[in-house]
Amino acid sequence: MNAPAPKGEWTLESLRADHAPALLAFERRNRSYFARSVPDRGDAYFACFADRHRALLAEQETGLSRFHVLVTGHGALAGRVNLVDIEDGSAELGYRIGERAAGRGLATAAVAEICRMAQGAYGLSRLTAVTTLDNPGSMTVLQRNGFTQVETMTVDGRPGLRYERPLTPAD
């Protein structure tokens, strides 16, 4: 079991316009790695990245979503952690950690931090998350962070699970 990475070794930053070049490089570098366990974003995602990035920033401004990048102490973008479909005190959590940073506890630590932010800064009371059965690392991260499996489902044609976690002031 990997211990969560110490907070001083990384920060979770709200997505900004100036993150675009590093985020595109991160997504390109990790495309095949991510495709092993989550549906591929497709070529259009990369071809229209600038427009997509601007759209995410506009969506974030509305409060419907909160997008974050995980930045290491050396300034490298190591992952993403997002809260989407924010409504009635609830949001869906999504995250991806790049291959170079995997296995070091960053996902566990970043999800713990976003749970605190969701409750404290964003005033949310519940998070949901979905993962495929062939992604045991993601299931472990969710379980370590207090998420409970609530439903089996299909995710882009693959068997998956939906998890929930209530957020409390102690988070």
pTM above 0.85, yes or no: yes
Name the residue with tokens 């924010």.
86
Q: At what angle do helices 49-62 and 20-29 cross, to 10 degrees?
A: 120
Q: Compute and round to an integer the Cα radius of gyration of the chain.
A: 15
Report pLDDT digits (tens) over 130-144.
Answer: 999 988 999 999 999
Cβ neighbourhood burial of 72 (10 Å; 0-12, 13-18, 19+)? middle
Q: What is the pLDDT of residue 157?
A: 86
Express each pLDDT in 100-133 by its tens digit.
Answer: 999 889 999 999 999 999 999 999 999 999 999 9
Alpha helices in 63-122 (DSSP H): 106-120
Secondary structure element (H or E) that encloses residue 131, with its range? strand 126-132
pLDDT of residue 1: 41
Query: What residues does each domain of the chain span?
Result: 9-166
Please determine, for residue 65, whether its predicted confidence score (pLDDT) is greater than 70.
Answer: yes
Residue 4 clears pLDDT 80, i.e. is over it: no
Element (H, E) at 70: strand 66-72
CA 18, CA 16: separation in Å to the nearest integer?
Answer: 5
pLDDT above 90 as % of the chain: 80
Instruction: Answer whether residue 2 shows pLDDT above 60.
Output: no
What's the pLDDT tens digit per position in 29-49? 999 999 888 878 999 999 999
- Superfamily, domain 9-166: Gcn5-related N-acetyltransferase (GNAT) (3.40.630.30)
CB atoms inside a 10 Å sphere around CB 17: 8
